[in-house]
A and B are shown apart, each in its own frame.
Chain A
Amino acid sequence: DVKVTQSSRYLVKRTGEKVFLECVQDMDHENMFWYRQDPGLGLRLIYFSYDVKMKEKGDIPEGYSVSREKKERFSLILESASTNQTSMYLCASSFQGYEQYFGPGTRLTVT
């Protein structure tokens, strides 16, 4: 079974803090994705990566950056957290196909 893990299930941070969300997959998948899910807005793509050190902006990249130094690990960075970044963050991975496997999510609250 594909396993996608995220470093924290729940996280509370203060406005202005730098926040790191980590995602690890164990299936040697090429592609990795970061989404945020907000009520009434569905899943929106923040960034994705199709290879080590390769990244591409999604639909809502503002205020975020990413890092992929190793194939299995994809990090989402909030350079200076703001209250409008309070959300559920979901990481996903896929091999050379459309089906994506999701992690359990990180509920981030910025106060």
Chain B
Amino acid sequence: DQQVKQNSPSLSVQEGRISILNCDYTNSMFDYFLWYKKYPAEGPTFLISISSIKDKNEDGRFTVFLNKSAKHLSLHIVPSQPGDSAVYFCAASWGGSNYKLTFGKGTLLTVNP
């Protein structure tokens, strides 16, 4: 049973426009969510996170929104740049999990110049 779902395997946007990556979860215990970015042949790098006590967190061009009632979160990148082209993974965890993360399958973002 897939507890964290990224239903779009890929997304293509123009440079300068907004990229919106979506993630849904099914486990009501999850109370912390993270986004990771991964380039080919490299390990994932942490991008931004959000706790369930918030509904929005911003860091520069990256904003994560959390809708707990819908069990949905999204990552907005504004403006998108070609260097943002990568696979983005959504991950979720909860306090009693020994800090284990459950990852989605990832979305490949391509930003076209």
Contact residue range for chain B? 20 to 34
| In the complex, residue of chain B having the shortest beta-carbon distance to the beta carbon of A38 | B105
**B105/A48 in contact, CB under 8 A:** no
Partner of B100, one of A9, A48, A107: A48
User: In the assembly, what is the distance between CA of A13 and CA of B84, in Å?
Assistant: 34
**A43/B43 in contact, CB under 8 A:** no
Set of chain A residues within 8 Å of B102, measured between Cβ atoms: 45
Q: Which of B74-105 contact A (CB under 8 A)?
A: 89, 93, 98-105
User: In the assembly, what is the distance between CA of A35 and CA of B38, in Å?
Assistant: 14
Known contacts A98-B49, A98-B93; is-contact A105 B98 (Cβ 8 Å): no
**How many A residues have CB within 8 A of the partner chain?**
29
Known contacts A31-B99, A48-B98, A50-B98; is-contact A104 B46 (Cβ 8 Å): no
Task: Give B24 Cβ to nearest chain A Cβ, in Å.
Answer: 14
| In the complex, residue of chain B having the shortest beta-carbon distance to the beta carbon of A95 | B99
A-B contact pairs, 20 of them (CB 8 A): A40-B9, A40-B105, A42-B6, A42-B89, A42-B105, A43-B89, A50-B99, A58-B100, A90-B43, A94-B99, A96-B99, A98-B32, A98-B99, A98-B101, A99-B46, A100-B101, A101-B46, A102-B44, A104-B43, A107-B41
**B100/A45 in contact, CB under 8 A:** yes
Task: Give A31 Cβ to nearest chain B Cβ, in Å.
Answer: 6
Set of chain A residues within 8 Å of B42, measured between Cβ atoms: 104-105
**A97/B43 in contact, CB under 8 A:** no
| A residues whose Cβ falls under 8 Å from a Cβ of B | 4, 9, 31, 33, 35, 40-45, 48, 50, 56, 58, 90, 92, 94, 96-105, 107
**B105/A102 in contact, CB under 8 A:** no
**B46/A100 in contact, CB under 8 A:** yes
**B49/A99 in contact, CB under 8 A:** yes
Partner of B98, one of A40, A56, A104: A56
**B44/A90 in contact, CB under 8 A:** yes
Q: Which has the most chain A C-beta neighbours within 10 Å: B32, B42, B44, B93? A: B44
Set of chain B residues within 8 Å of A9, measured between Cβ atoms: 41
